[in-house]
A and B are shown apart, each in its own frame.
Chain A
Amino acid sequence: DAKTTQPPSMDCAEGRAANLPCNHSTISGNEYVYWYRQIHSQGPQYIIHGLKNNETNEMASLIITEDRKSSTLILPHATLRDTAVYYCIVRVAGETSGSRLTFGEGTQLTVNP
């Protein structure tokens, strides 16, 4: 799986959009970008994933650059409950060798009141 690079920490004001960047310059054509988040002392939670098109769900939006070397997770209206570590993961979807996820250290997002 391709390696990802994320800033170690970010701050955001409550109610504003949180934009979390991720670099994955060695991504392969069949690798997807996944985002998970982990609230302190809990198990990680899936947020969203995408291949090359922008994606949106009830939690967030994912913007992938045209060359696919980077992406941005957008939380449109951040709340205090969005304070968590956010992990950007790149992997081949559906591979039978296991849906194993390789977690880096992620970005600690702190939403401030």
Chain B
Amino acid sequence: DGGITQSPKYLFRKEGQNVTLSCEQNLNHDAMYWYRQDPGQGLRLIYYSQIVNDFQKGDIAEGYSVSREKKESFPLTVTSAQKNPTAFYLCASSDPLANEQFFGPGTRLTVL
């Protein structure tokens, strides 16, 4: 089946530790995105990438980093510089000029 996978579904980390969230897609999409969602809020864009080896900051990039070494993979690292990292993280992909973004199931990160 084609789709987007995110792992793990739940992730716990201690304060001050960096953590990397995985996002893989087999839809052959060029564009990939990371969003953050806090309780009762809409999604906010962290980073996006339109092509391999290229990415741009979204609206809330501070404290996060990404890489795009392969078309199918777009990992997100939550660094210790992110002041409030506990949130639901969603990855998405699309053809750059397409109308629809496909979302993964999300990773719920809790920093203790």
Binding site for B on A (CB under 8 A): 32, 34, 41-46, 49, 87, 93-94, 96, 98-106
Contacts and interface: CB of A to CB of B under 8 A. Distances in A.
A99 B110 CA distance: 29
Q: What 8 A-B pairs come out closest when comparing CB atoms? A: A43-B103, A103-B42, A103-B43, A46-B100, A94-B97, A99-B94, A105-B42, A104-B42
B106 to A, nearest CB: 6
Nearest to A106: B42
Interface residues on B, range: 20 to 34
B42 A49 contact: no
Interface of chain B: mostly helix, strand, loop or mixed: strand
A5 to B, nearest CB: 13
Contacts of A94: 97
Nearest to B41: A105
A38 to B, nearest CB: 8
Contacts of B103: 43-45
